[in-house]
Structure 1
Amino acid sequence: MTTTVNPVRHGVDPDRWPDVAAEPPARLRAHLAGVVFRQAMAKSAVRVRYPDGRVTGTAGPTLRVRRPEALFARLGRSGLIGFGEAYQAGDWDSDDLVGVLTVLASSMGTLIPPSLQWMRRFHGVRSPLADRNTPDGSRRNIHRHYDLSNDLFALFLDESMSYSSALFTHPGDDFTAAQHRKIDRLLDGTRVGDGSLLLEIGTGWGELAIRAAQRGARVVSVTLSAEQRDLALRRAAAAGVADRVEVRLRDYREIEPVAGGFDAVVSVEMVEAVGIDYWPSYARTLAGHLAPGGRAGLQMITMADDRVRATRDAYTWIHKYIFPGGLIPSVPAMETVFGRAGLTVLDRLDFGPDYAETLRRWRAAFNARPDEVAALGFDATFARTWNFYLAYSEAGFASGYLDVCQLILGEPV
């Protein structure tokens, strides 16, 4: 299929964003996609405003279609990936983006009429082989997201530089205090204290390692992000715990064993990047590095088990533009995988609404600093991409489509 590129009209760099700049021609697929879109929106609690002033729906958040032909062509070419690309290009917009996406996420399984479900097979793009989470693939995937710029993440994260869900006691909680509450709950559950030897899989920017070291623990943390490693080490030094925090540039499959094992192993929102083919290896790594009687603490984003089975082979907008190679697991799937590795769930806490609040704060901070984002070299399309990513994620948790939990794992009792 040929495409036309009009970067002047859309203001999209075709070299940086080829599939956003490229607008497919309005052919049969575009016509059919337009029919499906109108039928789906008519069933939803979303108002749709078209350029000619026509409005469908009487209640709910408003989705403004600016270029219907372009939107329908993108939907016809690549389904929900095209829906996201249409937002990146400015083909549609909303003053309540989270509201629109929450409504759509809440009715994800019923928006497309059964008689038109067959159209999905035309959008069944497979994940690129390069995105598979082999050791080399994982390095590439992590680099594409986490090595964008430490300064970029610092613009919207709280002062702890925690890029995972906080744990709130009420919506007005201090953000950093809520992030520390999340961390401390994992450290308490895994009994990390003075003299503990802790393995952390997935360093982030070092806050968990720092707080564990401040308890008197010795920490070995591994990451594939050189940017994160450098900043985590600087932050540990600034906190006065550099002598108790070691950060290694390692894949989790390459961690060197220590005599007697680690007293605790923790991993915060790392398993989502592992990929289903490598869940057993990840579970064996956690179990294999634990000392007898040790505990593992895991924080992970989750979906219902039937959704995992239905989407395990899907290639989505999030894969293409944000987290290549990822797959969100379910709790039952992880219980099975860890059970085979010899670990059982000793404690569980689900707190999905807290992630919606975390993302709301991140998106507000990100959108409040457009000039600083631009000064770091990120263009307007990147800003729309990340606004959509953060809103898309918040909607997932607000609707209940996604959840987040902490698991404390240990030997069966």
Structure 2
Amino acid sequence: MAQFTPEHLATVDLELWPAVACVSAPGPLIDVRTRHAEAKFATACHKAGLQLSGEDPDIEVLHGELFVRLAERGWVGLAESYFAGEWESPRLVSVLSALVASGYAPQSRPLAGRRQSRQADLGAELPPELIGLYSGDGVSAFGGVFASGVRTTERVSIPSFVRGAGRGNEPKAHFVDVTEVSAPGPVDRADLSDAQQRAATALLELARIEQGSDVLEYPSSGGAVALAATHVGAMVDILSADAVHLDAVGEYVTINGAAHLARPHLLRNAVPAREEWGARYDAILSVEKLETMGQHTRKLCVRAFDRMLAADGFLSMQTVVATPAFTRTAQQAIDVFREYVWPNLEYPRMEDLHRLFDRETGLRITAETHFGAHYQETLRLQREIFEGRLREAAAAGFDPVFRRLWVFRFALLEALFRLGCLDAVQLRATARARPGRR
């Protein structure tokens, strides 16, 4: 269909943001689809209890191109219209929560580029200057664990997905220590750095890292987790295929006096083969990378973990997972992340992770700590910090479309955690070849 650039989009960079800068030109077919999309959106808002008019509307529609985008690209169109400044909301998280909860699922044409790449896709990291605009410590983009929150642990029997489970020496099920961390008390921006540090410390404890431990952080998460490991006297190798990211990590550990203990290494390949990196470690740390890989690369990555982990070592990982409440509408909503941030994003379920380790490695998950309410608060604080630094973001070269994209990204993730569609978990895995090892 013919595309054109409305007057209000004249300043949008067409090369950087082609789908935001242009919309379909009016015509009989698109006009019918647009009217249908507008009516469906109004119905969905009414069902969700959202006001589109009055003195304090939940959603203020500034340009009718919103409905053209909804007709063609569904939830991605809704997001792109927000990037374009075609609608506003003083309660963006609540609006997105209500739309997802109501089951709003606008029809749209299939999105281009949705097939997952079979290339290892771990090379590109978020720009350090972007993370610095919302991080508690300037380098950490991951979720934190706040000081308040009660921990309760239960030993749960989990079915084995190992081939042949229940026959021979392979048990049909195994026990996992599952810990739930209750919601934190009131927190503010000053608490974010400590919460992220507490999450890093918890990962070290899961991996049983101590003085003299040989530790790998892969892929790198910015330096804070590796630095925490050096504080207990561990030697840490940090791997990444992103040279810019690794330079920033090297500078961070050097400034913090840990260059002799934390050593960044640039990979040629996002998932290193044995020929490129053959070392083995007492512990491996990995923070919020697995969900962005796609299924193919995820398998390659856990196999690499298995190869690089010593026989009596521990893998400690933090990741975001989908829950049973993760609906078709939630799946459609996160299409925008695949379009603009992580092309192969897919939130696994905990069952998927158990199956992944059981089927693809000699490792087994033996402990889980769930802290979704803390992650939700992390996202809220990160969003508020970023919104308070929009001028700094502009000065750093992030244009208005990108700034609105990142606000929307925080808000949608926060909404999905609020609804219980997503959860955050830290897990420990170790070799299953040693019966009774916990």
The alignment's TM-score, normalised by the length of structure 1, stands at 0.86
Task: Kindly provide the amino acid, as one letter, of the partner of residue 363 in structure 2.
Answer: L
- Listed one character per residue, the Cα deviations across residues 147-190 of structure 1 (whole Å, up to 9, x for unaligned) are 3xx22321221125211100112332722211111011110111
The equivalent residue for 2:350 is 331
> SS of the residue aligned with 1:242?
coil
The equivalent residue for 2:397 is 377
Correspondence list, 1:39-188, <5 A: 39-49=43-53, 62-67=58-63, 69-107=64-102, 110-112=103-105, 120=107, 122-128=108-114, 132=117, 134-135=119-120, 137-139=121-123, 142=124, 146-147=126-127, 150-159=128-137, 161-170=139-148, 171-172=186-187, 174-188=191-205
Matched, 1:397 2:417: yes
The equivalent residue for 1:13 is 13
Question: How far has the Cα of 1:404 moved from its partner?
Answer: 0.8
Answer 1 or 2: which has greater helix percent.
1
Measured on the aligned residues, the alpha-carbon RMSD in Å equals 2.5
Question: How far has the Cα of 1:106 moved from its partner?
Answer: 2.8
The equivalent residue for 1:248 is 265
CA–CA distance in structure 1, aligned partners of residues 220 and 405 of structure 2? 25
Correspondence list, 1:220-235, <5 A: 220-235=237-252
Question: How far has the Cα of 1:31 moved from its partner?
Answer: 2.0
> SS of the residue aligned with 1:127?
coil
**Is the CA contact (8 Å cut-off) linking 1:308 and 1:329 kept in structure 2?**
no
Correspondence list, 1:320-359, <5 A: 320-340=339-359, 341-359=361-379
> SS of the residue aligned with 1:323?
coil
Task: Kindly provide the amino acid, as one letter, of the partner of residue 167 in structure 1.
Answer: V
Matched, 1:214 2:231: yes
- Listed one character per residue, the Cα deviations across residues 24-71 of structure 1 (whole Å, up to 9, x for unaligned) are 23422212212221221221122222xxx599xxxxx7111222x311
> SS of the residue aligned with 1:16?
coil
The equivalent residue for 1:304 is 323
Change (3 A) 1:311 1:353: closer
User: Which of the numbers 254, 270, 281 marks the counterpart of 2:289?
Assistant: 270
The equivalent residue for 1:38 is 42
CA–CA distance in structure 1, aligned partners of residues 333 and 301 of structure 2? 21
Q: Which runs of 5+ in 2 are unaligned?
A: 149-185
Question: How far has the Cα of 1:14 moved from its partner?
Answer: 2.2
Question: How far has the Cα of 1:101 moved from its partner?
Answer: 1.1
The equivalent residue for 1:317 is 336
The equivalent residue for 2:380 is 360
How many pairs are equivalent? Answer: 386
Change (3 A) 1:87 1:273: same
Question: How far has the Cα of 1:307 moved from its partner?
Answer: 4.5
Question: How far has the Cα of 1:123 moved from its partner?
Answer: 2.5
**Is the CA contact (8 Å cut-off) linking 2:214 and 2:283 kept in structure 1?**
yes
Change (3 A) 1:102 1:287: same
The equivalent residue for 1:116 is none
> SS of the residue aligned with 2:366?
strand
Change (3 A) 1:399 1:205: same
The equivalent residue for 2:33 is 29
**Is the CA contact (8 Å cut-off) linking 1:103 and 1:399 kept in structure 2?**
no
**Is the CA contact (8 Å cut-off) linking 1:189 and 1:408 kept in structure 2?**
yes
Change (3 A) 1:62 1:351: same
CA–CA distance in structure 2, aligned partners of residues 264 and 311 of structure 1? 35
The equivalent residue for 1:115 is none
Change (3 A) 1:243 1:305: same
Matched, 1:281 2:300: yes
Bigger mean CA deviation after superposition, 361-370 or 308-317: 308-317
Change (3 A) 1:7 1:408: farther
Alignment identity in percent?
30
Question: How far has the Cα of 1:354 moved from its partner?
Answer: 1.1
CA–CA distance in structure 2, aligned partners of residues 371 and 310 of structure 1? 34
CA–CA distance in structure 2, aligned partners of residues 82 and 347 of structure 1? 40
Change (3 A) 1:133 1:314: farther
The alignment's TM-score, normalised by the length of structure 2, stands at 0.82
> SS of the residue aligned with 1:371?
helix
> SS of the residue aligned with 1:404?
strand
**Is the CA contact (8 Å cut-off) linking 1:127 and 1:314 kept in structure 2?**
no
**Is the CA contact (8 Å cut-off) linking 2:20 and 2:81 kept in structure 1?**
yes
Question: How far has the Cα of 1:20 moved from its partner?
Answer: 0.9
**Is the CA contact (8 Å cut-off) linking 1:318 and 1:389 kept in structure 2?**
yes
**Is the CA contact (8 Å cut-off) linking 2:325 and 2:420 kept in structure 1?**
no
The equivalent residue for 1:411 is 431
Task: Kindly provide the amino acid, as one letter, of the partner of residue 153 in structure 1.
Answer: I
Change (3 A) 1:72 1:368: same
> SS of the residue aligned with 1:388?
helix
CA–CA distance in structure 1, aligned partners of residues 52 and 329 of structure 2? 29
> SS of the residue aligned with 2:132?
helix
Change (3 A) 1:197 1:155: same
